[in-house]
Structure 1
Amino acid sequence: MATRIHLIGLPHTQANDNYTACAYTQRHVKFSKMMTAYGYEVISYAGEHSDCGATENVVVASDKDQAKWFGEFDYHNNFFPITWDSSHTHWVEMNAKVVTEMSKRIRQGDIICIVAGYCQKILYDLFGERNPVVEYAIGYRGCFANFKAFESYSHMHWVYGSMLNSDSGKHYDVVIPNHFDDNDFYISNDRQNYHVFLGRFIERKGVEIAVEASRRLGVELIMAGQGCKQDGTRFYNDSGFEVHGDHIKHIGHVDKTQRAKLLADAKLTYMPTTYLEPFGGVSVESLFSGTPVVASDFGAFVEQIKQGKNGYRFRTIGEATEAARNIENLEWSADEIRADAIQRYGLKKAVESYDDFFQQILGAFYGGADFYSDWHGRTSRYDYPYT
């Protein structure tokens, strides 16, 4: 009998390819498709228009529900109007629906996968004694489960130190980064002379660094993503953050196809986040396109960007500018950049890592493979480390 996963989504989105701006929703979609193709049964609990390749799609956030919870909004232009407080109506009502629907389907040996920390802890409280509950894609702070998969070593260590107040490791915690289908990205034979910033238009994403570095080099900067408004050469958001430049072009939301072309045709992609980025999926998407990355020298980028090979890491605007100036002097070609990214962040490595993790969890939870047992995962997963 195939191992069965109950995959819990978020109240504000649809688990389909269109919601590219929500990293956790895309993680839900990709994870469901990947594990189903590998032979797992996946029951997805999500929005009314979800299409994620699951064995069964259970609607726990209908259009009517979402209109009630969030009102009308255009996700192409605006940030998702969600709060991360488990007492708020959208969490209370969606969790109640999940409990009702999952109670009809759950059986011993099933795994419950959640992705919203304490906002979904009620599922752990109600089902956690009988079934293992896994936080399968931790890029957030409020984690609690006994079985955790972090998106990067950087984020795992940050959570241990700052949130769990512990310097002790946990043997059933793992790092399994976000994963990507290489068929969704390609190397362009027609690269253009522009730089890319793709992400939310907020100050902490380091937009001003990308703007200034490209300005100093006299190169067009194409920005894409949510939250940006434009008045001539002024680009701003509703929080008062703004940048200026006649070399800037903002194209708004990009769908899956547009996203791939934007990254493939670019000379480089900026990932100048000023906080400790838990993962930063755009960076890896760029590498899958053979497009080098200029990124901050902290957070998950330290694991992704191999200095002088697939990009550069920087500390100051001067360093970012110099990195961009020398982007054609990298050691690796576009083909080598892409091949390395696929080895580290492709579906094969991810699905084998999750399969090992889940089999270990089931053994530990039901008593078949504790810490002192002879159980071990496939050694091939160590052949090509994430870092």
Structure 2
Amino acid sequence: MRFHIPGIPHTITNKSYISCAYTQKVYKLCSMLTRLGHEVYHYGCEGSDPTCTENINIVSENLRQQCYSTNFHTEQFRYDTSDYYHQTFYNNCITAIRKRQQPKDFLLCAWGWGHEPIARAFDASLMVVESGVGYESIFSKFRVFESYTWMAHVYGLNNIKNGNWYDAVIPNFFDPADFTFSDQKEDWFLYLGRITNRKGVEVAVQTTKEINARLLVAGQGTLVNEKEQVFIKDSHVEYVGFADVVTRRTLLSKAKAVFMPTYYIEPFGGVSIEAAMSGTAVISSDWGVFGENILHNVTGYRCRTFDQFCWAAENIETIKPEACRNWALENFSMDRVSLMYQEYFEMLYALWGKGWYERSPDRSNLDWLRKSYPRG
């Protein structure tokens, strides 16, 4: 199969942009599909380095810096898809895809509506797939959602009352080599993510203060930010700055537990799986994807009151690091999830044949939706 994958215009498709979940989806998707033996064409900003068949630079880093020189270590990402920079990206991407397009190719729009202007330029000969829906505004006929929770949420918002055979739920996926497993934890808790009130950072601060524990805060932003409604000045909190690839690996492996008390309906919450990959429990709110990704009393605790958050933090040693690691490896590793994407794209490819009625005489299982749970 052949895939065309645009990058996120205002970022660069490499590991440095670790704080942009969509950029990392593109980066990992290119690698995964290439490892499966497919042809993969990536279109992005100069400096991108995904594993793929061909990496096409469609905008220069100089132009990106002129328009988007934001220090993403301390500032939240900003963008305007109608501005000159994004329109240049879109037009150059369309031109580059047309030069390489062949019949029965896929266009994977990891940024959804942010890639829609590219998709609109092509007819039905190019199959358009929203390859990882973690947003609300869908546009394509074929969609992969990050969780069942999010699929139901988006269906409701868009008044979709009947299921679609060619929508699927495939979780975000991770390379175990990016994380270090450890069952030896240090005496501090971790908040890792965008430093914004909506992510519940204040809950982590208040909980650790109540139980007299240290809290390390790492991520995109600052501890005092009126726009993000963050005002953290507590002495037990240490801000360790933006967590690059190396810092993230260290923090996740050593933390006693990771706090994720997100207020909004979380589509996936990748940090919860990154923590599990490292053998570290997660203490989260009890809604959104957490009901799917955090096994209560096995890989962490889901809470609804301050008392529950405090109890979970005080009793986090009951969670076994090995159970966390096994849960992540067996359900969210690149090798595991690649089987799900392969099955899904084979379903879509059959639409160029008999479609829904296409038979697979060599099929030996239906394992693509199987979940594996820690034992003991």
TM over 0.5: yes
Query: 2:347: which partner in 1?
Result: 360
How many Å apart are 1:25 and its aligned residue?
0.5
2-side partners of 1:274 and 1:290: how far apart?
Answer: 25
Please state whether the residue corresponding to 2:180 is helix, strand or coil. coil
Contact 2:14 2:50 in 1 (8 A): yes
1:312 CA displacement: 0.5
Q: Could you tell me how far apart the structure 1 residues matched to 2:111 and 2:250 are?
A: 31
Distance in 2 of aligned mates of 1:159 and 1:189: 38
Match of 2:321 in 1: 334
Compared CA separation, residues 291 and 345, structure 1 to 2 (3 A): same
Give, in whole Å, the separation in 1 of the partners of 2:53 and 2:281: 37
The code of the aligned residue for 1:47 comes to C
Aligned residue number for residue 59 of structure 2:
61
Identity of matched residues, %: 34
Conserved? CA contact 1:363–1:370, under 8 Å: yes
* 2:373 paired with 1:373: no
After superposition, the C-alpha distances for 1:312-353 in whole angstroms (9 at most, x for unaligned) are: 0011222111111111123xx211210111111011221111
Q: 2:76 maps to which residue?
A: 79
Cα pair distance change 1:369/1:280, threshold 3 Å: farther
Q: TM-score, normalised by structure 2?
A: 0.94
Residue 33 of structure 1 corresponds to 31
CA distance in 2, matches of 1:335, 1:112: 38
Instruction: Indicate the RMSD between aligned Cα atoms, in angstroms.
Output: 1.8
1:33 to partner: Cα distance: 1.1
**Structure-2 residue corresponding to 1:196:** 190
Counterpart-to-counterpart distance in 2, 1:19 and 1:369: 41
Partner of 2:17, secondary structure, is coil
Greater shift after overlay, 262-271 or 311-320? 311-320
Asked if residue 208 in structure 1 is aligned to residue 202 in structure 2, the reply is yes
**For the residues of structure 2 that align with 1:339 and 1:225, how far apart are their CA atoms?**
26
Query: Aligned equivalents of 1:134 and 1:385: distance in 2?
Result: 27
Deviations 1:119-162 (A, max 9, x none): 32223222241110110011011111111001111111100001
User: 1:232 maps to which residue?
Assistant: none
Residues 108 and 189 of structure 1: CA distance in aligned 2, closer, same or farther (over 3 Å): same
For residues 340-385 of structure 1, give each alpha carbon's deviation from its aligned partner in whole angstroms, at most 9, with x where no partner exists.
1111101122111111111111111x1x142233349751223326
Give the secondary-structure state (helix, strand or coil) at the position aligned to 2:41: strand
Give the Cα–Cα distance (whole angstroms) in 2 for the partners of residues 363 and 74 of structure 1: 45
More displaced stretch, 35-44 vs 376-385: 376-385
Q: After superposition, where does 1:126-145 map in structure 2 within 5 Å?
A: 126-145=121-140
**Residues 154/240 of structure 1: CA separation in 2 closer, same or farther (3 Å cut):** closer
Structure 2 residue aligned with 1:322: 311
Give the AA of the match of 2:71.
D
Cα shift readout 1:251-296 (whole Å, capped 9, x = no counterpart): 1111111101101000000111100000010010000011000011
Whether contact under 8 Å (1:91, 1:119) holds in the other structure is: no
The equivalent of 2:212 in structure 1 is 218
Per the TM alignment, residue 69 of structure 1 is displaced from its structure 2 partner at its CA by 2.4
**Shift of residue 52 of structure 1?**
1.0
Taking the TM superposition and a 5 Å limit, the aligned residue runs for 1:113-128 are 113-128=108-123
Q: Give me the whole-angstrom Cα distance separating, in 2, the residues matched to 1:334 and 1:239.
A: 33
- Cα displacement (A) at 1:386: 9.2
Tell me the amino acid that sits aligned with residue 23 of structure 2.
Answer: T
- The 5 A counterparts of 1:2-41 are 3-41=1-39
In structure 1, what is the Cα distance between the partners aligned to 2:35 and 2:344?
17
Is 2:232 aligned against 1:243? Answer: yes
In the TM superposition, residue 198 of structure 1 has moved relative to its aligned partner by: 0.4
Aligned residues: 372
3-state SS in 2 of match to 1:371? helix
What is the TM-score when the length of structure 1 is the normalising length? 0.92
Counterparts in 2 of 1:284 and 1:237: CA distance versus 1, 3 Å: farther
1:181 CA displacement: 0.8
Aligned positions of 1:214-363 closer than 5 A: 214-229=208-223, 235-330=224-319, 333-363=320-350
Query: Is the 2:350–2:358 Cα contact (8 Å) retained in structure 1?
Result: no
Contact (CA 8 Å) 1:134, 1:146: kept in 2 or not?
yes
Determine if contact 1:198/1:225 at 8 Å carries over to the other structure.
Answer: yes
Matched, 1:104 2:99: yes
SS of the residue aligned with 1:80? coil
d(CA) in 1 for partners of 2:372 and 2:348?
21
Aligned equivalent of 2:170, options 155, 167, 176: 176
Shift of 1:239: 4.2
